[in-house]
Each structure stands twice: as C-alpha cells, then as structure tokens.
Amino acid sequence: MNNRTRIWLENVLRDSKKMVDWLTKQYHGEVTAAGRIRIFAGEYCEDLEHARILEVIASQEEDHANWVASLLHARGIEAKVLDKNERYWEQTLPGIESFRTGAAVAAHAEHMRLVRIRAIVDHPNTPADIRDVFAKILPQEVFHAEAFSRMAGAEALEATRGKHEAGLEALGLTA
C-alpha cells in the first residue's frame, strides 16, 4: 500500500463521516458504472463475446451498488446518485476512440479502484460489515480489471495512459 492510500485509509477509518462519504461515492460509482458500461457496449461493441462480458460486468456493478446501499442504509444514510463533477471521467472519456480504447479507459479505472478496495479489505480496523461487502466485491473487480485489460490490449492501454494520469491528477492522486 502506498503512503497516500495509507493516509487516506487511516483518515477514513478514524472518521465515520469520511467513511460514509467514501461509501456514498462508491455507491455513486457503482451505479453510474453499470450505465456507462451499457452505453459503451451499445456504441462500440461488435463482438458477441465482448458484449456478454460487458453485460456480466454491468450486472455485477449493479450488485455492488446494492451491497454498498445496504451499508449506507445500515448507517441511516440514503443511497443516492450524486450531482457532482466527474473529475476523473472528464479527463478520461474523451480518450475513447474505439472499443479497445474504451476498454482501456475502463481497465485503468478498475485498477485504480482496486488499490482502495484492497486496502479496506485488508485493514484489521475496517468495520466488519464493510470488510465483508468489499471482500465480495474485490474478486469481481479484479475480474473487471483483467477483462477490460484483455479486451483493450497493450497498445490501447498505453494510448490511454496519459488520459488516466490526467484523471488521477484531477482527483489529486498523483505525487
């Protein structure tokens, strides 16, 4: 775990308001991911096997949203899609020029998310219900990252790396 993630995690685990904020953003991300994936598939996907994989991923994102919603509800918080700037996506979505570059953009995003999901799952002070939910989410997100990476290929991953790095910078996640 890098130092930035360690600091983030310690802050989130110490402050229930920050944890709820993170969970709310996770819910938002899961709900909007399912929609984005389906739109992407409709616009760019011509391969039936890729379409099937994308639908599996979109359905799993909906499951994740429901699981995270249950965590929010247990804390008395309404699960809702936020009205917010999509700083990362504003940087990365313009890099989609084809099916492969779209898959690459998604792969970068999934790999980015895995860092914090793994940190939450692995930390001994993570509340048990949160750890349990993200332990269920983790292997599916690993599948998403790997599937998007395979569908993209090395060339598209490299071609979209700059957009991903700009997205990280927009989120304040660069050194």
8 Å CB contact between 135 and 70: no
Residue 2 has pLDDT above 90, yes or no: no
Model confidence at 175, in pLDDT bands (50, 70, 90)? very low
For 1, 140, 168, 171, the CA distances from 117, given in Å and listed in that order, are 11, 11, 16, 17
pLDDT of the residue at 6: 87
Residue appearing with tokens 């309404």: 78
Classify domain 3-171 at the CATH class level: mainly alpha
- Number of residues assigned to the chain: 175
Predicted TM-score of the model (pTM): 0.92
Residue 149 has phi, psi (to 5 degrees) of -65, -45
pLDDT of the residue at 1: 75
pLDDT of the residue at 140: 98
Cα(3)–Cα(129) distance, integer angstroms: 25
Domain residue extents for the chain = 3-171
